[in-house]
A and B are shown apart, each in its own frame.
Chain A
Amino acid sequence: MHDKSIAELSAGLKSGEFSSVELTRHFLDRIAAHDGRLNSFITVTEEGALAQAAAADARIQAGDAGPLTGIPLAHKDIFCTRGVRTSCASKMLDPFVAPYDATVVTNLAEAGVVMLGKTNMDEFAMGSSNETSWYGPVRNPWDTDRVPGGSSGGSASAVAARLCAAATGTDTGGSIRQPASFCGITGIKPTYGRVSRYGMIAFASSLDQAGPMTRSAEDAALLLTGMSGFDPKDSTSIDRPVEDYAAALGRDLKGLKVGVVKEFFGDGLDAGVGASVQAAIDELKKLGADVMEVSLPNSGLSVPAYYVVAPAECSSNLSRMDGVRFGHRCEDPRDLTDLYERSRSEGFGDEVKRRILIGTYALSAGYYDAYYLKAQKIRRLISDDFKQAFEQVDVLVGPSAPDTAFKLGAKSDDPVSMYLSDIYTIAVNLAGLPGMSIPAAPANGLPVGLQLIGNYFEEARLLNVAHQLQLATDWHRATPGGFE
């Protein structure tokens, strides 16, 4: 059952081939059997999952089922889930049980999905390897000595290992696409504002966006349709009707103008990854796409701009973790300063502290103009680059990450090298565009991600391109050994 697509699972549920309770039990058993090797879950919500599955079975019986009813999936532990620990993989929030559901969680619950549990991640979504989690690193099912990428590493690992039918993720600078690339799955970061951020614990508010992590573009289309929508509780969500993304997957690619981003193929790109991405582009050509080279001249500035904007916002967003109302509080504080200092020193990990310090510095009096304002200007330049590119082409393509999954610990002492892992994904967040990663041919025996970037609200086009490519290839069908 665990190898079926969401559409196949939905058909099986509706035909009575299996029940949602059976399906849920099956995935729970797989988590119990295999997650010891991966550490992809922080919390498994067995009881709640079985109750949701029973309710879904009742809905299916009543003929009230949608395409996601009864499908077991996992939520990244960044989404608030009522009555369930919502930790953001931080010691700071280890004691935090959310009293409310994130809008994404509510939307999917209303669609009838079953939540198997909460997946591991980099602490507060800060990291590209899933090594910053307070609950320990997640491992890549393709090679458990390697990282799954981050920050949505638990979701990527769990989906790749078939421990859940799909998972939610969030992407601030590549946190869906880079782990999707490393684990050989499909992930899409929608246009900023497409999916509500309410109840999604903020890392960098102007960049954060939730999206689905799945084994195919078709699954992603189904899940994204269920997650999306205007939310009056999120002022940055956009009031625009949600498309039926799955219904828009049938168009061929003849005449599709595909721009290959020149700057994404320079120094720093692994040769094997480059060759795989090129092979995928050649497939697009075979499917009738017109491929041309385009330039995003300012994309080289995206990493430095991002590492001002994102830490600046996070330094403020994380201020509420002060040990006063919820989360970790130090033992026997002497006074208020001691309460703050020790609660936060003990509660946050090194990478989170590093970014809070960088962000606090960047916003300080006398430095604000030189860092924050300048970064905002670069952001506009980057957006303008994309605007010009989309005057020439329909979609942009390139690698999702410069390399395949690296070994645990390989970049732990070198934050800048770690940051460069997101060099091709960050610009998309700075511009607020939709971006996607789908498996290309493996390189170095490990998965490679092809990145597709679309214009604002062109998720349907991206998903269709990905789906057409997946109809013609079987890279996305590969299953890591030991998790068949």
Chain B
Amino acid sequence: MQWETVIGLEIHTQLATKSKIFSGASTAFGAAPNTQACAVDLGLPGVLPVLNAEAVKMAVRFGKAIGAHVAERSVFARKNYFYPDLPKGYQISQMELPIVGRGAVEITLEDGSSKTVGVTRAHLEEDAGKSLHEDFHGQTGIDLNRAGTPLLEIVSEPDMRSAKEAVAYAKKIHQIVTFIGICDGNMQEGSFRVDANVSVRPKGQAEYGTRAELKNINSFKFIEKAINHEVERQIDVIESGGTVVQETRLYDANKDETRSMRSKEEANDYRYFPDPDLLPVVIEQAFIDAVVAEMPELPDAKRARFAADYGLSEYDADVLTSSRAMADYFEVAARTGGDAKLAANWVMGELSGALNKAGLEIDQSPVTAGQLGGLVARLADDTISGKIAKDVFAAMWDGEGDADAIIEAKGLKQITDSGALEAIVDEVIAANPEQVANYRAAEPDKQPKMIGFFVGQIMKQTQGKANPQQINKLLRAKLAD
């Protein structure tokens, strides 16, 4: 039997607000346990939530970025369940009336074609704290620093038909939320968490199969693995005469398997009801207009602009807009360097290589975009050669300063004075009569290769600082005499 996979994703993005969604406590990651939890986050008796307007603005920005309807009126609801890292015994979320309604994003498939994936809704909610099971000898520690961190949960339609499509969609959402500056996108720190609803059905069947929800997937690679694994499992179950049960399954990256966490029967009845401590969120058109006016350039628009304005290939434009940090870096380097293509080559080549090797992200690069631009400028105006540029780059990477300072300090400036170069060329020709004779006797199509010897000699004498084009020109003229 031919099987078709149906996937929908729920993505929790942690919003990059300075303070929490319902309190003034900081959202910074990595502080000592419970140092960033105020009375409201601790759920002490008597405390009340107050909505962070910045979180609302970010949600609206996302809504407008995916062409969705932003609700004029949305309502916070309580999702009731007991867990030690959920201080109030309920999570403030949105149920019936989410802030962002239906929208869509375009994804590009491997064969180059594109597909539209529907976004059902996106709603604001607060994160829970963390339970820490290590280091407590049979007890559980609770860290409430994360409790109350704002989340935007983005729910897709079941529009994806393969794990690869799901990854493309997740990457697209990741790209959008990071480009519009509402999420840092850090999957290791849990800023971008993906749950996948997966089901299979016989090809051609209209009804969906029973789905399983996969949780705990914390990288794009694991999304693909977890889904493919789950699809195989479900097909095995059905083909061996069983039925798939609706349940939540946990993905274990170490064992590359999913295992049942709870079935539908065991699922909580969350007893949602509107939170009486919070007023409905009423959003006026003027607010939406202001958010739209401040909207950063979206990835698709940026890619098109890079291709058009900088004359970059589609591939280059794609790579350079893969993240907001990369795009920003490139633009600064291109502007400072005055040569976009050269800047693009250096960002994608030398810089990316060095970052990869060092395991760094582009926003952690020891060479700033301005510094790389400075290097590009010296390349573009022929102050240094490409070969020397690599040395200068290495020196910048090691923190030795800007390109100009390094070129100056190390005396790496190209010799372009034709008088000086001519003298060196004459000297080399005079010192190597045998090679000169061979050259002159050779077939014309062999000569370009043989000229390399003389270039090498000159570079040796000038420690690589001679301008290669100029030497070539001079040598050809002189050797032809």
Partner of A325, one of B43, B47, B78, B272: B43
Are the C-beta atoms of B269 and A199 separated by less than 8 Å?
no
Interface residue tally for chain B (C-beta within 8 Å): 29
- Does A206 interact with chain B (Cβ within 8 Å)? yes
Please give me the residue from chain B that is nearest to A204 by CB atom.
B276
Q: Which residues of B contact A316 (CB under 8 A)?
A: 78, 80, 89-90, 271, 273
| B87 contacts A98, C-beta separation under 8 Å | no
| Other-chain contact of B39, A100, A201, A232 (Cβ < 8 Å) | A100
A contact residues around B90 at 8 Å (CB): 316, 319
Q: Does B252 contact A (CB under 8 A)?
A: no
Against A, the Cβ 8 Å flags (1 = close, 0 = not) of B67-111 are 000000000001010101001111000000000000000000000
Tell me, rounded to whole Å, the shortest Cβ–Cβ distance linking A106 to chain B.
Answer: 12
- Distance in angstroms from B6 CB to nearest chain A CB is 25
**Interface 1/0 per residue, A78-120 and B, CB below 8 Å:** 0110000010100001001011101000000000000000000
Minimum CB–CB distance for A357 against chain B, Å: 13
Known: A100-B39, A235-B278, A316-B89. A198 touches B44 (CB 8 A): no
Report the minimal beta-carbon distance from A37 to chain B, rounded to whole angstroms. Answer: 30
Q: Which residue of A lies closest to B268 (CB)?
A: A365
CB of B48 within 8 A of CB of A233, answer yes
A115 to B375, CA, bound (A): 72
Contacts of A235 in B (CB 8 A): 48-51, 277-279
Asked if A416 CB lies within 8 Å of chain B CBs, one says no
> Which of B46, B84, B271, B277 contacts A236 (CB under 8 A)?
B277
Instruction: Decide yes or no whether B241 CB sits under 8 A from chain A.
Output: no
Which residues of chain A have C-beta atoms less than 8 A from B84's C-beta? 322, 324, 336
Contact residues in A for B51 (Cβ distance below 8 Å): 235
Question: Is A326 positioned at the interface, with any CB of B under 8 Å from its CB?
Answer: yes
Complex formed: what's the CA distance from A204 to B51 in Å?
A: 20
CB contact under 8 A between A312 and B44, given known A235-B49, A235-B278:
no
Residue among A79, A102, A233, A364 with most chain B CB within 10 A = A233
Q: Could you tell me which residues of chain B, from 27 to 67, have a CB within 8 Å of some CB in chain A? A: 39, 42-51
A365-B89 contact given A98-B45, A319-B80, CB 8 Å threshold: no
User: What are 27 sample pairs from A and B whose C-beta atoms fall under 8 A apart?
Assistant: A86-B45, A88-B45, A93-B45, A98-B45, A100-B44, A102-B46, A198-B46, A198-B47, A199-B46, A199-B47, A202-B46, A233-B50, A234-B48, A234-B50, A235-B278, A236-B48, A313-B276, A319-B82, A319-B88, A319-B90, A320-B43, A320-B88, A321-B45, A324-B87, A360-B271, A368-B273, A372-B273
> Dominant SS at the A interface?
loop
Instruction: Give the distance to chain A from B363, nearest Cβ to Cβ, in Å.
Output: 35
Which residues, 359 to 411 on A, are CB-close (under 8 Å) to B? 360, 363-365, 368, 372
Not counting A100-B39, A199-B47, A235-B279, a sample of 13 additional A-B residue pairs whose C-beta atoms are within 8 angstroms of each other reads A79-B46, A80-B44, A198-B48, A206-B276, A236-B279, A319-B80, A319-B90, A321-B45, A322-B84, A325-B87, A336-B140, A340-B82, A368-B272
Given A319-B80, A319-B82, do A364 and B47 touch, yes or no (CB 8 Å)?
no
Which residue in A86, A320, A326 is a CB contact (below 8 Å) of B89? Answer: A320
Residue of chain B at shortest CB distance from A376: B274
Contact for A322 among B42, B44, B82, CB less than 8 A: B82
Decide if A423 is an interface residue (CB 8 Å cutoff). Answer: no
> In the complex, what distance in Å separates the CA atom of A287 from the CA atom of B2?
89
Question: Counting CB contacts under 8 A, is B450 at the interface?
Answer: no
Which residues in A have their C-beta under 8 angstroms from that of B46?
79-80, 86, 98, 102, 198-202
Contact A325 B39 (CB under 8 A): no
Bound-state CA distance A313–B272 (Å) is 11
User: Are A363 and B271 CB-contacts (below 8 A) given A205-B276, A235-B278?
Assistant: yes
B474 within 8 A of A: no
**B342 interfacial by beta-carbon distance below 8 Å:** no
In the bound complex, do residue A96 and residue B82 qualify as a contact, i.e. CB atoms below 8 Å apart? no
| List of B residues within 8 angstroms of A79 by Cβ | 46
Q: What's the Cα separation between A363 and B78 when bound, in Å?
A: 11
In the complex, the answer to whether B45 meets A320 with C-beta atoms within 8 Å is yes
- Asked if A194 is an interface residue, CB under 8 A from chain B, the answer is no
B406 within 8 A of A: no
Knowing A316-B90, A316-B273, A336-B84 touch, does A99 contact B142 (C-beta < 8 A)?
no
A355 proximal to B (CB < 8 A): no
Q: List B residues 406-420 near A (Cβ within 8 Å).
A: none
Interface centre among A102, A201, A235, A313 (most CB of B within 10 A): A235
B23: shortest Cβ distance to chain A, in Å? 10
Residues of A within 8 A of B50 (CB): 232-235
- In this assembly, does A197 line the interface, its C-beta being within 8 Å of a C-beta of chain B? yes
Question: CA A235 – CA B274 in complex, angstroms?
Answer: 14
Chain B residues whose C-beta falls within 8 Å of the C-beta of A88 in the assembled complex: 45
A233 to B24, CA, bound (A): 10
Query: Are B48 and A319 in contact, CB atoms less than 8 angstroms apart?
Result: no
| A96–B45 CB distance below 8 A | yes
Q: In the complex the two chains form, what is the Cα distance from A200 to B45 in whole Å? A: 8
Instruction: Produce 1/0 per residue, A307-341, CB < 8 A to B.
Output: 00000110110111110111000000000100010
Q: State the CA gap A321–B48 with chains docked (Å).
A: 15
What CA separation (Å) do A236 and B39 show in the bound complex?
18
Minimum-distance CB pairs A-B, first 3:
A319-B89, A206-B276, A363-B271
Residues of A within 8 Å of B82, CB to CB, are: 319, 322, 340
Q: Shortest Cβ distance from B35 into chain A, in angstroms?
A: 15
Instruction: Please name all residues of chain B whose beta carbon is closer than 8 Å to the beta carbon of A315 when the two chains form the complex.
Output: 80, 271
User: Are the CB atoms of B45 and A325 closer together than 8 Å?
Assistant: no
B269 interface neighbour in A99, A234, A322, A364, Cβ under 8 Å = A364
B44 in complex: contacting residue of A98, A205, A206, A340, CB < 8 Å: A98
Within B141-163, the residues touching A (CB, 8 Å) are 142
> With the chains together, A322 CA to B78 CA distance in Å?
17
Chain A neighbourhood of B140, CB < 8 A: 336
- Residues of B contacting A206 with CB < 8 Å? 276
Residues of the A chain whose Cβ atoms lie less than 8 Å from the Cβ of B47: 198-199
Residue of B nearest to A372 (CB): B273
Q: How far is the CB of B343 from chain A (nearest CB, A)?
A: 49
Q: How far is the CA of A86 from the CA of B42 in the complex (A)?
A: 16
Which chain B residues in 271-315 approach chain A with CB under 8 Å? Answer: 271-273, 276-279
> Is B273's CB under 8 angstroms from A363's CB?
yes
How distant is the Cα of A319 from the Cα of B50 in the complex, in angstroms?
A: 20
Taken together as a complex, chains A and B put the C-alpha atoms of A295 and B90 apart, in Å, by 40
| Known A-B contacts A202-B46, A235-B49; A363 and B80 likewise in contact (beta carbons under 8 Å) | yes
Interface residues of B in 434-452 (CB under 8 A from A): none
The chain B residue with its CB closest to the CB of A323 is B84
Task: Using known A-B contacts A80-B46, A319-B82, determine if residue A99 contacts B273 with beta carbons closer than 8 Å.
Answer: no
Q: Which residues of B contact A198 (CB under 8 A)?
A: 46-48
A364–B270 alpha-carbon span in the complex (Å): 8
B contact residues around A204 at 8 Å (CB): 276
Q: Which residues of B contact A365 (CB under 8 A)?
A: 269, 271
State whether A99 and B44 are in contact (beta carbons under 8 Å apart), knowing that A233-B50, A235-B279 are contacts in the complex: yes
Report yes or no: B142 in contact with A324, Cβ–Cβ below 8 A: yes
CA–CA, A303 to B50, complex, Å?
Answer: 31
Expressed in whole angstroms, the Cα–Cα distance for A398 and B298 within the complex equals: 64
What separation, in Å, do the CA atoms of A206 and B78 have in the docked complex?
A: 14
User: How far apart sit A221 and B295, CA to CA, in the bound complex (Å)?
Assistant: 51
Contacts of A326 in B (CB 8 A): 44-45
Assembled-state Cα–Cα distance A321/B142 (Å)? 16
Interchain CB contact under 8 A, B89 and A322: yes
Q: How far is the CB of A317 from chain B (nearest CB, A)?
A: 9
Closest CB of chain B to A32's CB: distance in Å? 29
A319 CA to B86 CA, complexed, in Å: 10
Beta-carbon contacts of A243-287 to B below 8 Å, as 1s and 0s? 000000000000000000000000000000000000000000000
Interface centre among B46, B49, B50, B51 (most CB of A within 10 A): B46
What is the bound-complex CA distance between A206 and B273, given in angstroms?
A: 12
Q: How far is the CA of A102 from the CA of B39 in the complex (A)?
A: 12
- Contact digits for B118-147, partner A, Cβ 8 Å, 1 yes 0 no: 000000000000000000000010100000
Q: Mark A33-72, 1 if CB is under 8 A from B, else 0.
A: 0000000000000000000000000000000000000000
Verify B279–A325 contact, CB threshold 8 A: no
